Structure 1
Amino acid sequence: MSEVPTRTKETKQSLGAVVYEQILTLIMSGTYGLNTKLPAETVLCQEFQVSRPVLREALARLREDELIASRRGSGSYVIKQPDNLVLQFSPLSSIADIQRCFEFRSNLESEAAALAAVRRTSAQLDIIVRAYEKMNVANASNKLATDEDFDFHIAITNAANNHFYSTVLSLLRKSIKEGINITRNLSLLHPESRLQLVQKEHNEIVMAIKEGNPSAAREAMRNHLNSARNRMFEGAPN
């Protein structure tokens, strides 16, 4: 059914991530169709020639990304089938890392947003608002706005006034922009309401920071990044 995943000295991914991508490919191609049950773990271990711990790492990632769900006493079922259009914007080899990056950002940036709500200066708030407005302008012209989106997020980490947050985000710039690029490209394929929804999420973050509400800022940022992560696997509308 599929090629056995291999690793070379240059491969940085874990074997579990490789198997994750192999199963994801089979889900996207329809080999494992929506609402169908995955083969038993023993069968999958034989198929991919990996140990059960490696397979379970891959299945755990698929569950975390809400692609499969376990049913007690029955096995794992496919609950979401991403559109192959995702692969037009990023190679399959990057997808596992991008999803993990979203996961990491959800924790990192939500705390940065909470700190920004209580520590930001008026000048820093102005920069955040201007970055938000630049996204509005880009959206009105159906522009991709990857840079504008990243600038918005880095402005918030800067406003946390703890240089470790902005340093980490800057180091992750390439991976973060890859994720933004995918989700924004997919959003442009949807009706205008999709971009409006994304911008509404950004606005909720801005308002919470402006009002000095750390818990609301934390929740708004976490909701936005988790939603973005999920939207990556929604593909384009039928």
Structure 2
Amino acid sequence: MHRARLGATEFRVVRPARPLVRAVLLDRDRYLDIRLDEDAARRIGGLWTLAAASPRSLVHLPMRGNRSPSGEPPESGTRPLDLVLLHHSLQFAPSRWKEVRGRLGPGRPETVTLSGPAEGDGLVIDHEARHHRENRDLFHQHVHAETLFMTGSAKVFRETARHFLDVARHGPGHAPAGPEHPHFCTEFHSCDGTLGDARELHVEYCDRWDATA
């Protein structure tokens, strides 16, 4: 855990102890794309759940310096991003992130125990309620300082962690059903009732990475 102070305000920032080297987040303009392996998918699912349980923390996933999966040529028109997950009640302005990031110290290790069903099993989701006009459990996004900010409620973080846990569970054993389904992936859709002011997010399992990654 890291702390940074700006004036009278102290910010608490949580980062994974081990870097997520086999994960990339790409801004493709119309949508966002995460490529990752089993370990990264499982750990990001845990960090997604942590964001639900830690409304006073910024959960920072540094990824923008990572290499893309091996065998893929450099892609024009995309830009790599870091990711920050935060609870909407924190009311953090993304414009302050560059200064906060620059003031983070070495931090100190901290073990977190997350409660709840493993792999999201047993979590009951009211899909119909998501489409009610009164639904406020929505993600909102901002991009600032080469970082995507995913802001939402504890409920929406808790209910959508399954996207990453599904990739970790099913990606490695995926058998393509045909050329139209060459890989295992999942998506945060605009039609699933979880996105407010936010672009769709595509999450794809990849098992080919450079040996150094």
Q: When the two structures are superposed, what TM-score results if normalisation uses the length of structure 1? A: 0.31
RCO (CA 8 Å, sep 6+): is it higher in 1 or 2?
2
Structure with more strand by fraction = 2
Q: When the two structures are superposed, what TM-score results if normalisation uses the length of structure 2? A: 0.34
Structure with more helix by fraction = 1
